């Protein structure tokens, strides 16, 4: 593992720990102790990162936001990995017309810009729980995984050890599950790590334009959405969630790139 990958992994671990432990020590993210005199305060011992326009503690919102933003991204990546893998395996292994139809389905998923599908779905559903938002993000993230897994499946079908299993008389389903599927896992892992960065960014972007996680719930993108009007008077309201976002996405990208290099040397 390279040094950059270790840094990425360390940052992600820290952020995950922060998401789990943070909300316990930080208190209620929606408490408004003193809206008259206590808003837009600079960092102090009482409020480690200061307060926002409604006198809410920014550290508490950042912690609660970490939990929501990372949970949404983790759910999205898991849904996309499971659904994409199943479809990719099926498309790669199914013979004749079925395989071609599945391939067209994946192509269609890749041709549709993800952001547009997401906006249409969010317009129809309106305000939603963050778990559901994660599922929706995952439901639009599968084509990238499916394409990779299909490619790996097609490649592994002609691998010698798979031919050997077939020659020993293993039925197709067994070959697919025990021989080909494990071989596609490195590709899924790489796609998921890189997909994690995408999911974090998309959730933040959607919340930033006011259609993802909506106020008063805290997410990093949502904090930016609320802080936009205060960029002149209290720029740290903007900087703090930006920093958290950039840390998370660059960590996931570094780790994903490193994993790709070590797991799939042929794609370099």
> CB of 4: closest distance to other proteins in angstroms?
10
Phi, psi of 235 (to 5 degrees): -60, -25
The span from the CA of 60 to the CA of 37, in Å, is 19
Would you state the torsion angle of the CA atoms of residues 24, 28, 34, 38, taken in this order, to the nearest 10 degrees?
A: 50
Question: Packing angle between helix 220-227 and helix 58-93, nearest 10 degrees?
Answer: 130
- In angstroms, the first-to-last Cα distance of the chain is 16
Site membership for other proteins, residue 246 (CB under 8 A): yes
The span from the CA of 33 to the CA of 49, in Å, is 15
Q: Under DSSP, is residue 112 helix (H, G, I), strand (E, B) or coil?
A: coil
Site membership for other proteins, residue 27 (CB under 8 A): no
Contacts (CB under 8 A) with other proteins, residues 180-219? 201, 204-205, 208-211
Site membership for other proteins, residue 20 (CB under 8 A): no
Contacts (CB under 8 A) with other proteins, residues 144-183? none
Phi, psi of 111 (to 5 degrees): -75, -25
Query: Among residues 264, 261, 251, which one has the least CA distance to residue 4?
Result: 251
Q: Which of 35, 113, 172, 182 lies at the binding interface for other proteins (CB under 8 A)?
A: 113
Q: Which of 7, 121, 135, 170 lies at the binding interface for other proteins (CB under 8 A)?
A: 121
Q: Which is nearer to other proteins, 38 or 205 (CB)?
A: 205
Q: Which of 120, 131, 159, 263 lies at the binding interface for other proteins (CB under 8 A)?
A: 120
Q: Which is nearer to other proteins, 144 or 176 (CB)?
A: 144
Contacts (CB under 8 A) with other proteins, residues 68-107? 107
The span from the CA of 202 to the CA of 134, in Å, is 10
DSSP state of 265: G
> CB of 224: closest distance to other proteins in angstroms?
7
- The count of chain residues that interact with other proteins, using the rule CB under 8 A, is 36
Q: Which is nearer to other proteins, 35 or 113 (CB)?
A: 113
Q: Which of 245, 255, 258, 259 lies at the binding interface for other proteins (CB under 8 A)?
A: 245
Site membership for other proteins, residue 132 (CB under 8 A): no
Site membership for other proteins, residue 249 (CB under 8 A): yes
- Residue 188 Cα distances to 5, 89, 118, 171, 257, angstroms: 18, 11, 22, 24, 13
Residues of this chain that bind other proteins (CB under 8 A) = 107-108, 111-117, 119-126, 201, 204-205, 208-211, 224, 228, 231-232, 235, 238, 242, 245-246, 249-250, 253
């Amino acid at each position: 593992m390279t040094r950059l990958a270790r840094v990425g992994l360390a940052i992600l671990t820290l952020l995950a720990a922060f998401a789990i432990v943070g909300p316990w020590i930080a208190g209620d993210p929606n408490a408004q102790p003193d809206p008259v005199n206590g808003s837009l305060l600079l960092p102090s011992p009482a409020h480690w990162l200061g307060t926002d326009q409604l006198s809410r503690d920014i550290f508490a919102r950042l912690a609660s936001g970490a939990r929501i933003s990372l949970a949404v991204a983790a759910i999205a990546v898991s849904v996309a990995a499971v659904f994409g893998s199943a479809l990719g395996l099926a498309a790669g292994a199914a013979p004749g017309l079925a395989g071609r139809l599945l391939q067209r389905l994946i192509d269609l998923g890749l041709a549709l810009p993800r952001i547009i599908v997401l906006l249409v779905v969010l317009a129809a559903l309106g305000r939603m729980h963050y778990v559901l938002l994660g599922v929706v993000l995952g439901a639009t993230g599968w084509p990238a995984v499916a394409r990779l897994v299909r490619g790996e499946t097609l490649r592994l079908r002609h691998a010698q050890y798979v031919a050997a299993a077939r020659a020993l008389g293993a039925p197709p389903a067994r070959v697919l599950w025990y021989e080909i599927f494990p071989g596609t896992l490195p590709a899924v892992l790489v796609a998921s790590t890189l997909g994690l960065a995408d999911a974090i960014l998309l959730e933040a972007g959607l919340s930033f334009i006011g259609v993802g996680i909506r106020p008063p719930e805290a997410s990093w993108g949502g904090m930016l959405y609320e802080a936009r009007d205060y960029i002149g008077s209290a720029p740290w309201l903007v900087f703090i969630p930006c920093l958290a976002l950039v840390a998370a996405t660059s960590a996931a990208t570094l780790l994903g790139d490193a994993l790709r290099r070590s797991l799939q040397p042929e794609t370099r």
